Amino acid sequence: MPALNELAAAVFSGPETYADRIHFVHIYCIEPHPRAPDPSPYTGRPWESTFSTRPQTGTYNDRLELARETEALIDETQLMLVDDLTPGERNNPVWCTYGSCPNCAYLFRRDATVEAAQLWFDAEEMKAAIDGLLR
């Protein structure tokens, strides 16, 4: 979150920041490394990391609660959305459609085509992609 906050607040041109020119949207989705004993979606078994502080949510309301905690880490110029969790119906549609990676980043054009895609967010590369799109 700090790298995204810094990019959003960085000066783009004159008094404008990147957040003045680009919509920064976060999608809260499945936990890649949930706290044990919950299984990781990648291994089907517990796969904890140093940041495994949260369980795998089983309901949309649980996911929404965790998303609100995460939203507190982003600045007010950014938007937090929550991927659907309706087991058997619309279970994680954004995560399933755009890549099953926890830290993907995309830059979309106004016509919804993908300008840049990253499997792991890199602030400098994304800044260069934004600059290329807007200049």
Q: Helices in the chain by DSSP H: which ranges?
A: 2-9, 18-21, 60-71, 93-98, 123-134
| Confidence (pLDDT) at 41 | 87
Mean pLDDT by 10 residues, the chain (135 residues): 92 94 93 91 90 89 93 93 85 85 89 94 96 93
| Confidence (pLDDT) at 58 | 87
| Confidence (pLDDT) at 88 | 73
| Confidence (pLDDT) at 63 | 93
Cβ partners under 8 Å of residue 115, min gap 6:
107, 108, 109, 129, 133
Q: Given its phi and psi angles, is residue 133 left (phi above 0), alpha (psi -120 to 50 degrees) or beta?
A: alpha
| Confidence (pLDDT) at 68 | 94
- Tell me, what DSSP letter sits at residue 101? -
Among candidate residues 23, 30, 24, the one with its CA nearest the CA of residue 94: 30
CA distance 46 to 63: 19
Which helix (H) or strand (E) segment holds residue 116: the answer is: strand 114-118
- Which residue ranges make up each domain of the chain? 2-134
Cβ partners under 8 Å of residue 36, min gap 6:
46, 48, 52
